[in-house]
Amino acid sequence: MKKIAVLTSGGDSPGMNAAIRAVVRKAIYHNIEVYGVYQGYLGLINDDIHKLELGSVGDTIQRGGTFLYSARCPEFKEKDVRAKGIENLRKRGIEGLVVIGGDGSYRGAQRISEECKDIQTIGIPGTIDNDINGTDFTIGFDTALNTIIDSVDKIRDTASSHARTFIIEVMGRDCGDLALWSGLAVGAETIITPETSYDMKDIAEKIQHGIDRGKKHSIIIVAEGCMTGDSCASELTKYINVDARVSVLGHIQRGGSPTGADRVLASRLGGYAVELLMSGDSAKGVGIKDNKLIATDFNTIFNGSSEVKYTQRMLDLTKELSI
Ligand code: ADP
């Protein structure tokens, strides 16, 4: 392995820069040249590929977003378009490609390794949604979680001043992890996720019970993959007469300086991706399970149903703590 390339693709997440940095520094340490592909698969087909040096990743570990930029590139699903991208790697003698992104980005990498046996591919899970199989945590999840916590702590101040019920809609696509983790961390009265059932009448009764006990405010965290904050408010107010306000946190959840946990995770996974390429591995996604680095075949990552990353015990605890 003499030359590798790295790209970021799909939705960006805090910590992607730290992962790129780890790939670049680890590879150069082992005398491997590294190329950065700008704007994900779009840059791959447009030949927007440039050599990265040690200094290219200086002063990036603390920055959110991705200095390589990200893009959606639906045309990469077409074989003849991918052939252009593969040719751009081949003409530089690049033998390994690290793709940092989500499930869709992994599929692009899998196609490359199927169609071009002389280019190895490794995926690194970069998304705030924590919705990729083969890892307990994705890069960006912890930062987004902390952004939500910070926002809800602020909302709580105004909620209690006015004795309001606040409904906070958080991101996560079809995955409820951001809602569940943040709900536990802010002490929400109710957490609504796509994975668990809910009964709005029960939720309303619980909130009313809290008000009767003299609670100053209530916080409901709702995952975007389950319903919008607005529809949650209109369903809730069918059952109780509360001053329910909705806050949609939106894209602030994708930004910001990565937390320590995300920087360390990104650095470990970036370094591991290079180790796998050096040992001849391909078509795998890296991850962390029980604090151990693991690599899982793309096929296994795609074929399994979505991994549940919380335990029944954790779910029970959210109920026990929100009485
Ligand atoms: P994410 O990686 O965050 O899941 P997307 O689903 O938008 O984001 O995928 C990112 C990019 O990966 C797409 O814009 C496309 O270039 C590429 N991609 C997605 N699915 C496929 C596929 N089935 N085959 C080839 N490339 C794909």
148-189 tens-digit pLDDT: 999 999 998 887 777 789 999 999 999 999 999 999 999 999
48 conformational bin, left if phi > 0, alpha if psi -120 to 50, beta if neither = beta
How confident is the model at residue 157, as a pLDDT?
A: 85
Strands 120-125, 96-101: parallel, antiparallel or unpaired by DSSP? Answer: parallel
Residue 133 three-state SS: coil
The mean pLDDT of 250-270, rounded to a whole number, is: 97
Residues annotated as catalytic (active site), given as ranges: 129
191-201 residue pLDDT tens? 999 999 999 99
What's this model's pTM, rounded to 2 decimal places? 0.97
211-239 residue pLDDT tens? 898 888 899 999 999 999 999 999 999 99
- Report the mean per-residue pLDDT for the chain: 96
d(CA 224, CA 171): 5
Which numbered atom of ligand 1 lies nearest the CA of 72?
Answer: 14
Pocket of ligand 1 contains residue 173 by CB under 6 Å: no
Strands 190-192, 96-101: parallel, antiparallel or unpaired by DSSP? Answer: unpaired
Residues 6+ positions from 216 with CB-CB distance below 8 Å: 159, 160, 163
All domains of the chain in start order, with CATH:
3-128+260-289 (3.40.50.450), 144-252+311-321 (3.40.50.460)
Of 7, 76, 130, the residue with max ligand 1 atoms within 8 A of its CB, to mutate for a pocket test, comes to 76
Pocket of ligand 1 contains residue 285 by CB under 6 Å: no
The number of helix segments (H) and strand segments (E) in the chain equals 11, 11
Pocket of ligand 1 contains residue 105 by CB under 6 Å: yes
Counting residues of the chain whose pLDDT is more than 90, the rounded percentage is 89
d(CA 130, CA 167): 22
